[in-house]
Amino acid sequence: MTSPARTRRFSWVEAAADAGTAESGDDRVSMSDRIDRYATHPVLGPLLFLAVMWVVFQITTTVAAPMQDALDQLFAGPLADVTRALLGPSASAAPGSRACWSTA
């Protein structure tokens, strides 16, 4: 049993929804619907996801390789030399070795 207030409220909501939406009358399948057909497929979807992630990983590592090499050269070269110069010869010895504890 519906009350008259509830009927008026829902009729107002239905009228507002009808006024706020428009049907194009066009039943064509959009590009997004075509992509979703494959991307949400139970078998093809995860395979497609893995393929896209592999491509992203390959691009990321390929683009980042020169930057990684530059940072490696910086830390192994000039920065290491400056650190050795500031801390002295014991800085290049392994922790716990006799060179670190030498007083001579």
**Chain segment 10-69, per-residue pLDDT in tens:** 888 888 888 888 877 677 888 999 999 999 999 999 999 999 999 999 999 999 999 999
7 in any annotated domain: no
For the chain, the domain total comes to 1
Q: What pLDDT does residue 43 have?
A: 96
What is the rounded CA–CA span in Å between residue 68 and residue 61? 9
Q: Report yes or no on 42 lying in a domain.
A: yes
* 40 found inside a domain: yes
The owner of tokens 């007083």 is 103
Alpha-carbon distance 51 to 58, whole Å? 11
List, in order, residues 6 or more apart from 94 with CB less than 8 Å away: 100
Residue count of the chain, please give it. Answer: 104
In a domain, 100, yes or no: no
Question: Residue 41 belongs to what domain range?
Answer: 30-61
What pLDDT is attached to residue 29?
85
Examine the pLDDT at 104 and tell me if it is beyond 60.
no
Residue 102: is its pLDDT beyond 60? no
In the prediction, which pLDDT does 67 show? Answer: 93
Q: Is 88 helix (H, G, I), strand (E, B) or coil?
A: coil
